[in-house]
Structure formats: C-alpha cells, structure tokens
Amino acid sequence: MIYGLDVSTSIVGFTVLDDEGNIVVNEAWDLRKIKNLFEKADFVRKQFRKVAKYPNRVFIEQSLQSFRSGFSSAQTLSLLSRFNGMVSWLCYRELGVEPEYLSASSARKSCGIKIPRGQKAKEVVMKYVLDNVPGVSITYTRYNNPKQECYDKADSWVIAHAGWLQCQKEKSLGS
C-alpha cells in the first residue's frame, strides 16, 4: 500500500494505492471549519486511525520552500510548514512509517503531466485525472465547476502515483 497526501491547513487530499497502483481510497478531509492547528492535526490523526491497513510507504507533497510573487506570505508558508511537520509526525506515530517528500512539479513530471505556460497547474492536473484515472470521484458546484476538495484529491493521487512509480523503479533496479 502506498499513501499519498496533499497537505494544507484547509483541505488534506488523501489517496491509497494498492501494490498494482489501483486506487483503494481517494478522499479529501475538509479542515476549513477547524480553526486551531492542533485540532486540525487531531482530526488528521483520527482519519489515519480509520484506515484499516498500514502502508508500505507514505509520500507527502513537499511544502513550498520559497516566496513567489502573488502567492503565499511568510506567515502562510510558516503555518503550512508547521502543519506539514505535524502531519509528517502523525504518519510516523500513527502509521509507523517515516514519510517521504516529493515536490509537486517532480511528481507531476513523473506522472507525465505537463503544465503549459500560462495555465494553472491545478486545472491541468484535474483534467489529466478526469481523462486518465478511474476511481477518482469528482463532485461539482451548481455552476458545473469541480468542488475545491476535488483538486486536493487529484493532487494526492499525483503524489501517490509518483510514489508508486518510484517504488516500481526501485523494485526493477533491485531485481
């Protein structure tokens, strides 16, 4: 079992893949109504405890490491980094696995997802997942746009699938 997580303080995308790379679980945990960071972490801990099987490997999307114009502030990056650390600790403590980190861009690249210049990565990933990945359920707003949590589900699949591909590569090099 491979776990892939797209961690943020608002919604955590969570995907479990079996040894063949098929989706076992693909969901999003909405944390937007929980205001306290520790309560958010406790919610994630409870979600981990609901998962029946323990993973072989856990992959987490690496949190942003630097500023980009028009994006997150220092305060937001710091908060995200702290929460990512809390979730990482929970993976180790609750699941018994030390998580591994993948950057979003390298995960997308290993999955064969190319982001054309000027297009939003989340939208390109969503289209790719809708077109190529059975087992990801997408819900829509009344305006026929994917709901926010669906982007996180798609991103967690990318992280999980990139992790699964890495495991396959390691197996082939080892045999």
Gap between the Cα atoms of 5 and 99, Å rounded = 10
Query: Cβ(20)–Cβ(165) under 8 Å?
Result: no
DSSP 92-107: HHHHS---EEE-HHHH
- Residue 67's pLDDT is 47
Domain boundaries, the chain: 2-174
Q: Any residues with CB less than 8 A from the CB of 54 and at least 6 apart, and which?
A: 1, 95, 96, 97
Share the mean pLDDT of the chain: 91
pLDDT at 139 over 90: yes
pTM: predicted TM-score of the whole model, two decimal places: 0.91
Which tens digit of pLDDT belongs to each residue from 41-67?
999 999 999 986 788 999 999 976 544
DSSP secondary structure letter of residue 143 = T
Which tens digit of pLDDT belongs to each residue from 85-104?
999 999 999 999 999 999 99
* β-bridge pairing 11-17 and 2-6: antiparallel
* 71/51: higher pLDDT: 51
The yes/no answer on whether domain 2-174 falls in CATH 3.30.420.10 is: yes
Gap between the Cα atoms of 161 and 73, Å rounded = 30
Query: Cβ(152)–Cβ(8) under 8 Å?
Result: yes
